[in-house]
Structure 1
Amino acid sequence: MTRKVADCRKYPSEMNCTLTISGEEDEVLRAAVDHAVSVHGHEDSDQLRTDIRGLLEDEAPAAGGNGMNFVQLIEFRTKRREELNRLLDEWEDVTGGKRTATRAVLTTDHDQPDSFYEFVEFPSYEDAMRNSALPETDALAQRMRELCEGEPTFHNLDVVRAERL
């Protein structure tokens, strides 16, 4: 049976709720109704249950069983590594609870120490695009350009195989 997902981030509210619930349809529906009543102030009713059931989406299958289905690869050059690290730390702080990136790995080329490659993992392409649309991510990109020699290059990569070795 396909697991279902209820994701508050897709339905902006005054409280900017970021809760995501996933599981079998009936358990997600129960949890989502409880959440809608206790957190968002909705009244428990048959109509609320019908509305929420209509908003449930199929959970994206995990590639290689680890949930990583999409990766952005960012290539760039900079001699200002410490400033870059501070900028990335700041972005992580201001996007807590909003970002959809699940993991990032920053690497430097062993033979060309001013060349960097960052791998940013996402559950899906759509999640990566939501992350890119955050004002904080746009601000990061602008400030990152100031630290780089030339424009960073972005690659949008669908994961076809991922394994823990």
Structure 2
Amino acid sequence: MTRKVADCRKAPSDINCSLTISGEEHEVIQAAVEHAVSAHGHEDTPELREQLRGMLENEVRSESDGMRFVQLIEFKTHRKDEINQLMDEWEDRTGGKRTATRAVLTQDHEQPDTYFEFVEFPSYDEAIHNSNLPETDELSHRMRDLCDGEPTFHNLDVVRAEAL
């Protein structure tokens, strides 16, 4: 289900309210009603709820969500469990140092020994910083030993990202 956003900046206000509320539609409506009553002096009426519902927009990921760059790593291995252990170890050792914000490991449905890992970063520079960590360098060498051939790296600038 698409998350919804209510943004006070998009409604006329004497107090120049800047509150933004996001979540599932029923959560946003309830919080927006409570806010409209307590901060703006409105009464909780069916008309107010309908007006607020009409102001809701779909939530869209923005630059502030942090994903502006993705590294896609394609590799083949028949040693998936060892790769997972290696990734867990890297996460433990780089806590507080790494700049990667999210990683998604996928397995090709038609070619079960083929994997694609998407690693998100706030920027290309942050990805380079992450790659230069000694722990990442070690991970890279150890991962290559577990792969059937050389991994392929793709450096991708994010053009569009949104929650669906």
TM-score under structure 1 length normalisation: 0.61
Contact conserved, 1:63 with 1:160, CA < 8 A, in 2? no
* Higher Rg of the two aligned structures: 2
- Aligned residue type for 2:120: E
Match of 2:140 in 1: 141
**Residue number in structure 2 paired with 1:69:** 68
Q: Is the 8 A contact 1:106 1:116 kept in 2?
A: yes
- Residues of 2 paired with 1:65 and 1:90: CA distance? 29
User: CA contact under 8 A between 1:103 and 1:122: conserved in structure 2?
Assistant: yes
CA RMSD of aligned residues (A): 1.2
Structure 1 counterpart of 2:119, one-letter code: V
The amino acid across from 2:151 in the alignment is P
Q: Flag the 1:78–1:132 CA change in 2: closer, same or farther, 3 A.
A: same
2: CA distance between counterparts of 1:163 and 1:64? 11
For residue 130 of structure 1, what is the aligned residue in structure 2?
129
Q: Structure 1, unaligned stretches of length 5 or more?
A: 1-61
Tell me how far 1:67 sits from its aligned partner: 1.7
Q: Does 1:150 align with 2:149?
A: yes
Assess, with a 3 A threshold, how the Cα gap between structure 1 residues 63 and 156 changes in structure 2: closer, same or farther: farther
Moved over 2 A (4+): 62-66
Structure 1: distance between partners of 2:100 and 2:90: 12
Q: How does 1:85-96 map to 2 (within 5 A)?
A: 85-96=84-95
Partner letter of residue 158 of structure 1? D
CA contact (8 A) 1:63 1:69 kept: no
CA contact (8 A) 1:64 1:161 kept: no
Within 5 Å, which residues of 2 pair with 1:44-123?
63=62, 66-123=65-122
State percent identity of aligned pairs.
71
Quote how far apart the aligned CAs of 1:88 are: 0.2
